[in-house]
Chain A
Amino acid sequence: MHPFKMLSEYGPLLLEGAWLTIQLSGLALLIGALLAMPMSVARCSPRAWLSVPVRIYISFFRGTPMLAQLFLVYFGAGQFRHELQAVDLWWLFRDPFYCALLTFVLNTTAYQAELLRGGILGVPRGEVEAARAYGMSAWLRYRLIVMPHAYRIAFPALGNEVILLLKGSAIASVVTLFDLMGQTRAIFAKSFDFSIYLWAALLYLLITMVIVRIWRYLEKRINPHLQRRVIQAPKAVKTAVTATE
């Protein structure tokens, strides 16, 4: 099919799918970020009863395929249908959107918590000690000193996780959702036009590139002190430097 005709016929559907992809992964990332914060603190705790369960949780969700996790949630819930109906939670597990969202949240929470743990461990001891010396409570210390710095350290890695989850969300198409991948597969099944896969790939690439840009901008904003600075040296000094090199 002619590319122009292809786009005019299926373009709106693709964009609709892309919007669902963005909604699903964006929402999951946000909820995951909220849950990852306390979890990473628990993961760093010296108390085993706090850190060990979190460790097992993180290891499980990072060590198994997200597709298998999605099946576990979406199909697995059926085994407990009566129990879930009794506690009035069945509506959640009956809906593929909520199941996919729940799976993505569980998954990204594990990844984000682990990245944030790296950030917390990277906060210089002196800062924490200084906060203690000021008499800050643990809550205040985490809120004002540890977490802001931990996020700064983990920020580039969190950007990778955003892109990984966005790409991973393509499996939502397997549980009947019409995200970008789902629309693409449906259109291919109707038209047998291979170029639709290429358009979808282009759209995914475009979304990731926009995210990379946004992330780079945000990184500049929150880590201004870490940017490479270009210092304009006077000409005479410049030549002197190159001469000594």
Chain B
Amino acid sequence: MNELSLLGLGADGWGDELLSGLLVTVQLAVTTLPLGLLIGFAIAGASLSEQPWLRRFGRAYTTAARGIPELLTLFLVYNGIAMLLNAAWRALDPDAGFVELSPFIAGVIALSVVFGAFSGEVLRGAFQALDQGQIEAGQAMGLSRLDQFRFIKLPQIWRFALPGLGNLWVNLIKDTALVSIIALNDLLRMTNIAVGATKQPFTFFFVACAAYWILSILSELVLAVLEKRANRGVRRA
């Protein structure tokens, strides 16, 4: 069988399996993004808080989540939360069986923890780059705190943070590959399965790499458009 038919969509081609894996990869990244951003905003808020203990917490979280390998974080979450769940389960029902955390949920949690730490730093930088005078102007005009956030802060945070968040998004897509190690059927694991059956490792891993590559390049193109839009009101030096 030649290589093209191996990648076909039919019953004896692996194209459809790879595509289903690609879908899981994209789902994982898209589910993680809002959760990670939420954590990021919380961490940025904590790091900029007036409460010293909140600032300390923000700094400790950022240092830990950025300094530990993503793979280790994944195992910490996957095994740790499963153990906690089991302990809690057994306390409620002594003869309960062993529950396992779904790899997808473990992946979303672990990647969100990491994304939250990195995006927290990006967002903190964006908050600090805000022009203080504009916020004062908003106060002087009698805008409520929510309106200040919506009309003055958020559009500019978006503009300042977009390049950094874009990089993190591409990193997130690449980090999803790690979840294949805990047996989530994402693109890389489906590729592994295809390699086991076809004995064509280079061909298939190259195709997988190309798929990730296309995702990254597409993301960069979309980000360039978003950045242009976010900066449309800014005069260039």
Contacts and interface: CB of A to CB of B under 8 A. Distances in A.
A67 interface: yes
B71 interface: yes
Given A59-B213, A188-B79, A205-B64, A76 B206 contact: yes
Contacts of B181: 67, 174
B172 to A, nearest CB: 11
Contacts of B83: 194
B188 A68 contact: yes
B69 A72 contact: no
Contacts of A67: 177-178, 180-181, 188
Contact of A80 (B63, B170, B202, B208): B202
Given A63-B170, A75-B195, A170-B69, A197 B209 contact: no
Contacts of A208: 67
Interface string A60-86: 101111111101100111111000000
A64 B67 contact: no
A59 B64 contact: no
Given A185-B75, A194-B80, A201-B68, A79 B201 contact: yes
A65 B68 CA distance: 18
Contact of A167 (B70, B174, B202, B206): B70
A181 interface: yes
Contacts of B209: 60, 64, 68-69, 72
B212 A63 contact: yes
Contacts of A79: 199-203
B89 interface: no
A168 B175 CA distance: 10
A194 B188 CA distance: 27
A68 B175 CA distance: 10
A170 B71 contact: yes
A169 to B, nearest CB: 8
B1 interface: no
B221 interface: no
A157 B202 CA distance: 33
A138 interface: no
A167 B65 CA distance: 11
B205 interface: yes
B217 interface: yes
Contacts of B71: 170-171, 173, 181
A209 interface: yes
